Structure formats: structure tokens, C-alpha cells
Structure 1
Amino acid sequence: MDVKALLSALLLAALFIFASPLRSAETKPNIVFILADDLGIDGVSCYGADRHKTPHIDQLAASGTRFETCYAAPLCGPSRCLLMTGRYAFRTGGLTNGSWRRNGPGARSANEWSIAKVLKQAGYATGQSGKWRQVGETPHDWGFDEYCTDPLAGGYYWKDSYEKNGQIISAPGSYNPDIIQAFSIDFITRHKDEPFFLYYAMHFVHKPTLHTPDSSPGKLDGPGCYDDNIAYMDKQVGEVVAALEKLGLREKTLVIFSGDNGTARGYPSPVHGRMLDGFKGTMLEGGSRVPYIANWPGVTPAGKVSQDIVSFADQLPTFAELGGAPLPKGVKIDGVSLAAQLRGQPGQPRAYAYVQLGKHWFVREPGWKMTETGALFDMSDAPFAEKMVTVPTDTEASTAARGRLAAVLQELSPSAGKQDARGEKMEAKGE
């Protein structure tokens, strides 16, 4: 090859490298994690929900990657603990709704790392907006530079005040989700010139089910407003994406949309004409299987549907890898990084998901599930049904699955970890 041809080849190679979409995957992305409250896959139309329409969320899936099998915990508090720490509940003590928000076996900021703490090491500005009440201490304690939340547990929506960075601010007659939305967009705007992590924990669609600013005048609060809440949630997701686009940040920002647990009792609806098995608070598939959509233009494959298992524990190592932050030393992190899959690469998908609520748990792999009692279930019809498989009816496949999952539970040994009888009593009373 002559010199001219060689130079041409090198120029073409350089152009390919700098023009490749994967080039952006090598940069430090902004991260916006939007967490809906009490929203199972039956509340999102791109997952096959028959009743609810979520066009803005669907657009994130259409232009990004949708994961079919993501598992949180079946209840708000344990999911948030798992999400923030990347560690299973029997390690942190974040076992039930009561566990994380008081002294005792629950997780404490002095003893645990969080996503915010990890990303701050890599120069990220960190912000938290929305629900925090199931979490102990304050967002500041857990590594967030700024936060905006609701001050009291007496309802999420129509309020007279809110809390911002530790200060209670009067706002008579305000709609709290709008205040949280404004703070979220303001945080993004103010930090547009540096990498940022925004943990946006929406109030939607947790009870009480109240009217929204878009509801028909005079509409009575109650179950009849549930569809309005789904629609308002979807609209706010669209507004966040639009703000990123307006600021020229869209291709620099990974947006993830998920839910903290399954749909609340009384509100589940059909998916492709069938009801899910279980709902919030249950150890069935509908209790902890949640939507998970990742969208980073030019990096996440558009329109892809992944069957890889995702756990809420995976967020901390994923964000750390994408942000170039070191993982904490001497700490057992249960999450598995999804960074490769977000870049459209095969990666190393996790073999199973582990789900725990209080003194109950299960381990779930494609096709099979085993509980703390050793009961094995055929999950070939999940998320609509699970079928117990007894030892006398074992097939070659179920025998192999029984051995694999029993070995996983033996290695994890949840019963030897932290326990919280007081938190379980609070949970039983609905606290």
C-alpha cells in the first residue's frame, strides 16, 4: 500500500471511530433514574397493558431498550434500599417498610454506600426529588447534594408545603408532583455543564388516588382518578425528556424508567387479556416484576427488547461503571453491571434474581423459582401463573433446576443475615 492509500485508510478509520455511536458510550453520561411508585408492568402500555396508555414512556422504549424481566422488592422501602445500596436485604437490614426508616437492623448511611456517594467520587452533582419517606435519615446523609420532597406522610399530592434541602416551605394549595417536577428540571438545568445524577422518585401512582390538575372539573377523588394519575405520570416523564432535549443534553444522558414494586391491591389490570399473578406486597410475580426501560440515544439499541434478568441491585455497579467511579472496597455488592447491555453488547447477564420481603424470599431464574421453604415452581407461564412442582413429579429439567436454585440459596444463606420482627409487625399493620 502506498503512502497516499495508507493515509486515506487511516483517515477513514479515524472518521469511523469518531462518528460511531459507541463513541458516546465512552464519555461520562448524565444519569436520570425515574422511579414510579406502585406501578407494575400492567400499568405501562409498551408492556402489553390493555387498559392504560403511556405514550411518552412507550417512546422511551421504542427509541431505547426495554427489559422484560426486572425485579424489585414487593414493597416500597425494601426496593429503595436495594436500589440505593446494591445489596440484598439480609445484608443491609432493609427488609420491610419499617426497617430502613428507624434505628435497629435497618440500613444506615454511616454503614452503607449509596449510588450518590459512589458517583460523587467521579465528580457527579447528585440530586434527589420526590418520595423519600420510607428511607432513613435525609437524602443529604445518603450523598445527595440537593433534594426536594414532601414533609409529611399524610398524602402525596395536594399539599400546603414541601421540603427542600431540609427546609419546610409553605405552598398553600399546591400540587406536590408539580413542585417535584419543577425542582427536577431546575436541577438538570443548573447542572447542564457537569455530569449529574438525578434520582427522581415520583409519587405516582401511589394511593391515595386523588384528582390531578388535568382531571375533569369536579371529578371525585378515588379509584376513578387512577387513569388520570397514570396519564399525568406519563406526561411528566415526557416533560423531563423534552427539557433534556431543549438543553442539548439528550445524547449525553441515560434515562431509565422503572417502578418500585407491583401494582397496588385493587388496581391491577390485564396484560394481553390476562391478569398478572399477584400484586404489591405479595411474593408472586406481580409483586416484584416491574418495568425497566433504558434510553441513551446513540448508545442503547433502539427498539430492543431484552430478556436478560435485571435486579434493582444492579443499578449501583452499572452507574459506577458508566460514570467511571470506583466501587467501594471491602463491601459485598450483589448487583451485576448492565453497562455492556446498555451499549448493545451481550455482557454477562445475571443467572438469577433474588427477591426478599421480611422473612420471605425466593430466587428466580428463567423458567423456575424456588422459595425459602425449598418449594419449586414452574414459571413457564409467568407472569400470569406459577405451578408448584413436587419432587414425585420431577422431570429431568425440574430436577436440575431444583439443584441449581437450592445451591444458590445455600450460598446466599439469607436466614443467617439480618432480621427484623418489629418491621414485619409494622408491615402487617400497613405502616
Structure 2
Amino acid sequence: MKLLIQMICFVFCLFPMQQSMLFAAKAKADNRPNIIFILLDNVGKDWFRSYGSQENQTPNIDHLAYNGLRFRNCYVTPVCSTTRHMLLTGRYPFQSGWHTHHDPAIYGGGYFDWDREVCFARILRDAGYHTCISGKWQINDLFDPAQKDALKKHGFEEHCIFPEGKKGHPAHKQRYWDPYVIKNGQRMETKGKFGPDIFTDYLIEYMKTHRDRPFCAYYSAILTHIPVVSTPHNLGKELTPREKFAGMLNYSDYLIGRLVTAMDELGIRDNTILFIVPDNGTDNGTDQNAEQSLGGRINGRVSGEGIYSLKEQGINMPLIVNCPKLVGGERISDDLIDVSDVLPTLADLAKAPLPKGVKINGRSFAPQILNQPLKTPWRPWCLTQYYKQRVVRDQRFKLYSTGEFYDLSEDPLELHNLANSNRTKTDKVSLESYAQLRNVLDSLPENSKLPWEFRSISARRIRAEEARQKQAGDSNLKP
């Protein structure tokens, strides 16, 4: 009897050991790449030397660009929330209906609805990845009881975020010094701390904890969003607003360098694909604390119209992909990308199926990342929009839904509208491009309607202008 009891105890002790060994073997066998996706805030090509800038604030990012894959043309939308929604869902603004800026954390109203849309984090989580978000989240009001679990419902298993809050709330715009930060549902003590440091420290600890299993970390950075502030590297110095902005970008670059160093030290660098892209162009300094333009210099020109503008400075952003083993050394791609392509790309890299019953507009550029041949030719255009205005471009020309037509190879600042010029009527190349781009725009459906109204300042201005134009038109009809 004693021997029987000993044997039963041995079996019960052995079982969890076997289970643990099987789990470890399974985890080790899963060699799908880790993914770190960094979305920078409000900074365009005019500040990245690897994209022709004369500024010198991004040595770490530029090193990743020069030793990885960079795309010459990646379209975002001209403002934060519309880009984020397009990025997270893989759907064009006209498809999802989120075509105008809206910040429910500040204005209330509608929000990023997990019952209506599928976030890439949910796709990867369901495919066996561990998922987290660090940094900024503004497309749900996490202080609304109905939305307090939004991050989990969107697929993020862990979080460390600045949640934003309505005017008067302690979280309202409190993102930099002494920031309002929530880590896995609990508010952190942050007095004397700098928000970007907190989010980077969290990601480094996250990588340490989850390095034995494929993970996807979405780093939605708060730098370099206005107001311009001092960083730990220049605190106490007398600086102009532009110098402070430069310091903010340089500090963001420093933090990305810290992440890469941590990846090296953890031994996961060769199996971790790092993405870097901004959400829109450089803010032109509209903040009350910025008396001068915050734009950088590119090819000798001072940038402008980097936010809320569908000109190239506002929507054509850097896209850098780096992983020494999987991506390889320096490559430059002319393929036209837009941020709707991110979701299918991440799903492809993770070997995860796309959601059923949801129209995904983007296309996977995983073959380009892994330097593999394409099964079908890449599309010859990329697209974005804001409200009702849409733009589409090919390698050389750009067409607005409102009719403006530009040759970007000769006129990158879009100063000379060719729509009604003799050249467009007689030049074969211009004629063919115009016709092809017009066909793309004409094939698109009208904007989908959301069951709520946009409440941002931008949305209210648009409605006021439409009302003004309607009133003016009605007045002209009177006898």
C-alpha cells in the first residue's frame, strides 16, 4: 500500500513537469517573429536625415533606416485619430466611416468600437501572440464605464498608457512631466517622471518577461506632440520652441536606441521586426507656446502644412523596417504603401488569418519585408483622405478628388496645378496617369456612416463651413 501511494505521488509530480516541458518545447518551436510597431507622433520627413532632412536629431532611427528597409512613399492621413483608426483596422476611412478627426477621450461621443471593427492586436492575440500597448491611446474614453475594458476587447493583453481625459480631468493633456499613466488598469505614481521614459521602461520589462513567446508590442509614442517641452536631456536650458521640439525628437530617438540595445541584450534582435512610422506630418507650431514654425528642413526648404493637410508634407511619411536577420541590410523600396497595409502585413508575418466578414482594404507587404518575390504585381497607387476629400498617387503624379493634379517629380510642394494645363491635355504620360488615377477615385464608394457624430474642433469647423456655403447658395437662389 505504501509503495502504491509513493507511485501515485510520483505520477502526480511528474505530470506538471511533463506539461511544463511540453509547453516550453512548444514555445521554443514557435519561431514566428516578434513585432514592435512604433508610431511616432506629429513629425514628418523634414526631420529625418535618412529621408533627406538637413536636421540631425535622429541618429539611431537613421541607423536603422540605413541598415534595414525604408519605403520612399507611405501614406497616412493628415491627423492622428484617422491615421490610428486606419492603421489598427486595415480599412480606408471611407470604408470604416472614421474619416474625420475625433477624440472621444476629450469630446465624448462615438468611439473605436470593438463590435464594429477588428484591431490587429486581436488578430495576433487569437493567433497565439502575446500583445501589449505602451504610450498613447485616444480613440476610446477609458474613463467611461462602458469603455473601460476597451484595450482588452481590442486585443491588448497588457498596457501602460497615457489615456487622455476630458477637460477638467487630471488626465487632460497630462502626458509629459508628472504624467497621468495607467498600467494594466491601475494608475501609477509618476511624480517627477517623464512620460516617454515610463513607456520605454515598461516595454523593456515587457520584452524581458515575454521573450520566450512571440509577442506584438504597439508603441504608440507621445513624442513629439505639442506642447513643446523640455526633456531630461535639456531640462533647465533656455530654448526656443523650435529647439525644444528638436530636443523632443532627439529624445524619442534616444529611447528607440534604448529599445534596440535591450533587444540585443535579450538576444531577440534577430527575430524581432521593428517598424517605425509617424502618424502625420510635423505640426506647424499652432500651439500657443510655439511662436515659430516647428518644421524642419528638407532639401533646403523649410517644411510646412504638416498637419490637417493632404499635401505630401502632411501624409507622405517615413516607413522604416529593421531586423538584421529577417529584413537584412540596406534596401530602399519604391512600392507605394499606405497604413491600411499594416494590419494584413502583421497578420501575414504572424501567420494569422484575416477576420471573416470584414472588408480589409490593405494588402500585405510582408514579401517586401522578407525580400521574397511577390505572387502578383504590387498595386500602382496609394490612397488616403480627410473627410470627403481623397487623394491618390502613382510613382509620379497625384490627383485630388477635388480635381487638382500635380507632377510630384517636378513639383513636390504642389505649387502648379496641371489639371487644366495644355500639358495634361497633350502629354501622353500625364494623360495616362490622370486617367488611371481618376478611375481609382471614381471606383471608390461614398463614405460609410457611423451611428454618431464627430465632435472635434476640426469636425465642427467643417460643419460650420458647409452650413455657411449652403446658406450662401440659398441666398443666391432668392429672387
TM-score (norm 1): 0.88
Separation (CA, whole Å) in 2 of partners of 1:208 and 1:329:
41
1:313 is aligned to 2:340? yes
1:116 is aligned to 2:121? yes
Matches of residues 79-158 of structure 1 in structure 2 within 5 Å? 79-98=83-102, 107-135=112-140, 137=147, 138-151=150-163, 152-158=171-177
1:396 is aligned to 2:428? yes
How far the C-alpha of 1:402 sits from its partner, in A, is: 2.0
Letter matched to residue 295 of structure 2? P
How far the C-alpha of 1:333 sits from its partner, in A, is: 0.7
> What secondary structure is seen at the aligned counterpart in 1 of 2:152?
coil
Separation (CA, whole Å) in 2 of partners of 1:223 and 1:420:
38
Residue from 204, 207, 217 that aligns with 1:185: 204
Residue from 58, 61, 77 that aligns with 2:65: 61
How far the C-alpha of 1:203 sits from its partner, in A, is: 1.0
Residue from 350, 363, 366 that aligns with 1:339: 366
Separation (CA, whole Å) in 1 of partners of 2:48 and 2:319:
10
Return 5+ residue gaps in structure 2 as ranges: 1-29, 142-146, 164-170, 285-292, 463-479
Is the deviation greater in 412-421 or in 307-316?
412-421
How far the C-alpha of 1:160 sits from its partner, in A, is: 4.8
1:26-45 Cα distance to aligned partner (Å, 9 max, x none): 94100000111001011111
How far the C-alpha of 1:346 sits from its partner, in A, is: 4.4
Letter matched to residue 195 of structure 2? N
Say whether the 8 Å CA contact 2:270–2:323 is kept in structure 1.
Answer: yes
1:278 is aligned to 2:283? no
Counterpart of 2:27 in structure 1 is none
Residue from 254, 279, 282 that aligns with 1:263: 282
Separation (CA, whole Å) in 2 of partners of 1:211 and 1:425:
27
Counterpart of 2:75 in structure 1 is 71
Residue from 219, 243, 253 that aligns with 1:200: 219
Separation (CA, whole Å) in 2 of partners of 1:104 and 1:161:
22
Return 5+ residue gaps in structure 1 as ranges: 1-25
Separation (CA, whole Å) in 2 of partners of 1:103 and 1:211:
30
TM-score (norm 2): 0.79
Counterpart of 1:20 in structure 2 is none
Residue from 363, 386, 398 that aligns with 2:392: 363
How far the C-alpha of 1:277 sits from its partner, in A, is: 6.2
Counterpart of 1:414 in structure 2 is 446
> What secondary structure is seen at the aligned counterpart in 1 of 2:154?
coil
1:294 is aligned to 2:321? yes
Say whether the 8 Å CA contact 1:100–1:106 is kept in structure 2.
Answer: yes
1:303 is aligned to 2:330? yes
Counterpart of 2:401 in structure 1 is 372
Matched pairs, number: 405
Separation (CA, whole Å) in 1 of partners of 2:401 and 2:451:
14
Query: Looking at CA atoms only, which structure, 1 or 2, has the larger radius of gyration?
Result: 2
Separation (CA, whole Å) in 2 of partners of 1:350 and 1:153:
42
Letter matched to residue 430 of structure 2? S
Separation (CA, whole Å) in 2 of partners of 1:420 and 1:390:
36
Say whether the 8 Å CA contact 1:158–1:173 is kept in structure 2.
Answer: yes
Residue from 267, 272, 279 that aligns with 1:253: 272
How far the C-alpha of 1:390 sits from its partner, in A, is: 2.5
How far the C-alpha of 1:65 sits from its partner, in A, is: 0.7
